[in-house]
């Protein structure tokens, strides 16, 4: 087992990584939430991971997919917590992937203005990224994760044993976030994909968690440095928001959208003179080594994507991106809409062989 601490002073907690760590949940709850006398477990149908928090428990099942991340489901959970007699001194346990940990964390943050919670991450995406860091939230029609709270878990359990049953596209979704960390990790970029993918699975998870923990410890509430964790996400979130619309037809997992967003960010950085052709090729190579696509999905409307990008959480009434450059990956504000639209056109043209 590997233990990665997230150093946040009084809110410090540990991420436990390895085969079978879910079986340590009762001990973790007893140690980190010593006053709890009951628990609420939130999961989704089909996850099939049983946990024992060592306390009397009420179990809640939320809808599948991103549809679960809604204010209506948060209300449903909080009302259920109240009916079950849960108090602020008790504990909520999220058992699932990023959707479950995002949603449950926000419900815990909201219920009685803050109830302790523990994440048991069951997907690769949740283990390498979503379950760590305390960013919780839900979606609204106007965008992804636009409503939420910073609320740190008491602990995170990343049981790599349960990943064996993940379907291929869930593996791809997790690898999209891993590709992001390949660019953010010290000593990884360059031989990024090979050095990360060459590690045993538990070490891959631990490497990504350690990178995120370091960033979160230095900037818990995304004032500056933590924005780097959104590398590739500005376009990714716009694509996902487009899919949420009533007429949306896109079928993209989060990590797949991030992979597209990473290559887009490289093309935009080149257009702005921040990197050259070699930098763009390196992004394509790393994304390819993670066996991920980087094509812009058919049917998306560039102008609509730009409108979603303007609502991104990094934006301050402008278009803000995380972009590579001579000093590495950094936040770039005030990017022109014309440059974004031209880059989207270039991306599509490069896939068809046409000139933009």
Which one of 166, 181, 214 terminates a domain? 166
pLDDT score for 206? 96
Element housing 327 (H / E) = none
What's the mean pLDDT when you consider all of the chain?
92
Segment 215-238 shows an average pLDDT of: 93
Q: Examine the domain organization and report whether 256 and 148 are in the same domain.
A: no
Segment 253-267 shows an average pLDDT of: 95
Examine the pLDDT at 204 and tell me if it is beyond 90: yes
Segment 168-196 shows an average pLDDT of: 80
The total number of structural domains that make up the chain? 2
pLDDT score for 246? 66
Q: Examine the domain organization and report whether 161 and 187 are in the same domain.
A: no
- Would you say 17 and 127 are in contact if contact means Cβ atoms under 8 Å apart? yes
Q: Examine the domain organization and report whether 261 and 156 are in the same domain.
A: no
Nearest-angstrom CA–CA distance, 324 and 280: 10
Nearest to 87 by CA among 49, 61, 55: 55
Element housing 54 (H / E) = none
Nearest-angstrom CA–CA distance, 129 and 216: 11
Which one of 166, 200, 226 terminates a domain? 166
- What CATH number did the domain enclosing 188 receive? 1.20.1090.10
Spatial CB neighbours of 327, under 8 Å, sequence gap ≥ 6 = none
Examine the pLDDT at 10 and tell me if it is beyond 70: yes
- Would you say 138 and 74 are in contact if contact means Cβ atoms under 8 Å apart? yes
Element housing 169 (H / E) = helix 168-184
Which band of pLDDT confidence, cut at 50, 70 and 90, is reported for residue 119? very high
Could you tell me which residues are beta bridge partners of residue 322? 331
Nearest-angstrom CA–CA distance, 316 and 290: 33
Segment 264-278 shows an average pLDDT of: 97
Segment 218-247 shows an average pLDDT of: 89
∠ CA 135-138-144, nearest 5°, is: 90
pLDDT score for 167? 92
Spatial CB neighbours of 324, under 8 Å, sequence gap ≥ 6 = 183, 265, 266, 269, 274, 275, 279, 283
pLDDT score for 191? 54
Examine the pLDDT at 181 and tell me if it is beyond 90: yes
Please list the active-site residues.
113, 135, 177, 212, 222, 226, 230, 233, 237, 254
Share of the chain above pLDDT 70, in %: 93
Examine the pLDDT at 354 and tell me if it is beyond 90: no
Segment 40-59 shows an average pLDDT of: 97
Nearest to 255 by CA among 161, 84, 345, 123: 123
Nearest to 29 by CA among 189, 143, 153, 128: 153
Segment 175-204 shows an average pLDDT of: 80
pLDDT score for 186? 59
Q: Examine the domain organization and report whether 100 and 245 are in the same domain.
A: no
Which band of pLDDT confidence, cut at 50, 70 and 90, is reported for residue 194? low
Q: What is the DSSP string of 254-288?
A: HHHHHHHHHHHHHHHHHHTTSS-HHHHHHHHHHHH
Segment 250-262 shows an average pLDDT of: 92
The model carries a pTM of: 0.91
pLDDT score for 244? 73
DSSP 165: G
320-340: per-residue pLDDT in tens? 999 999 999 999 999 999 999
Phi, psi of 320 (to 5 degrees): -120, 135
The angle that helices 302-309 and 337-352 make with each other, rounded to 10 degrees, is 130
98-108: per-residue pLDDT in tens? 999 999 999 99
- Would you say 98 and 130 are in contact if contact means Cβ atoms under 8 Å apart? yes
Residue in the structure block whose two tokens are 């936040």: 331
Q: Examine the domain organization and report whether 285 and 176 are in the same domain.
A: yes
Burial of 113 (0-12, 13-18, 19+ CB in 10 A): exposed
pLDDT score for 247? 66
Nearest-angstrom CA–CA distance, 152 and 133: 6
Q: Examine the domain organization and report whether 159 and 176 are in the same domain.
A: no
Alpha-carbon torsion (284, 286, 287, 289), positive or negative: positive
Q: Examine the domain organization and report whether 152 and 188 are in the same domain.
A: no
Examine the pLDDT at 313 and tell me if it is beyond 70: no
Q: Examine the domain organization and report whether 178 and 314 are in the same domain.
A: yes
Domain that holds residue 318: 167-356
pLDDT score for 311? 84
């Amino acid at each position: 087992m590997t233990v990665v601490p997230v150093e946040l002073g009084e809110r410090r907690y540990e991420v436990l990584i390895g085969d079978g760590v879910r079986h340590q949940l009762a001990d973790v709850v007893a140690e980190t939430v010593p006053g709890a006398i009951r628990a609420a477990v939130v999961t989704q149908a089909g996850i099939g991971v049983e946990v024992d928090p060592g306390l009397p428990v009420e179990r809640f099942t939320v809808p599948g997919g991103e549809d679960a991340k809604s204010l209506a489901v948060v209300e449903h959970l909080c009302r259920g917590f109240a009916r079950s007699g849960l108090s602020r001194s008790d504990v909520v346990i999220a058992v699932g992937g990023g959707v479950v940990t995002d949603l449950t964390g926000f419900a815990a943050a909201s219920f009685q203005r803050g109830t302790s919670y523990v994440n048991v991450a069951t997907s690769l995406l949740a283990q390498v990224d979503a379950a760590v860091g305390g960013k919780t939230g839900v979606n609204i029609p106007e965008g992804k994760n636009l409503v939420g709270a910073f609320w740190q878990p008491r602990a995170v359990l990343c049981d790599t044993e349960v990943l064996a049953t993940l379907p291929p596209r869930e593996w791809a979704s997790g690898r999209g976030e891993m590709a992001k960390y390949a660019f953010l990790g010290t000593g990884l970029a360059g031989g990024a994909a090979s050095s990360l993918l060459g590690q045993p699975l538990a070490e891959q998870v631990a490497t990504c968690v350690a990178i995120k923990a370091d960033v979160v410890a230095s900037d818990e509430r995304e004032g500056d440095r933590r924005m780097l964790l959104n590398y590739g996400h500005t376009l990714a979130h716009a694509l996902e928001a487009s899919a949420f619309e009533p007429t949306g037809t896109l079928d993209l997992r989060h990590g797949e959208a991030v992979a597209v967003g990473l290559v887009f960010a490289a093309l935009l950085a080149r257009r702005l003179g921040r990197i050259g052709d070699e930098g763009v090729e390196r992004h394509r190579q790393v994304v390819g080594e993670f066996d991920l696509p980087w094509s812009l999905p058919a049917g998306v409307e560039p102008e609509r994507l730009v409108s979603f990008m303007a609502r991104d959480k990094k934006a301050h009434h402008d278009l803000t991106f995380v972009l590579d450059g001579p000093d590495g990956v950094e936040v770039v504000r005030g990017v022109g809409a014309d440059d974004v639209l031209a880059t989207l056109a270039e991306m599509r043209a490069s896939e068809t062989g046409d000139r933009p």
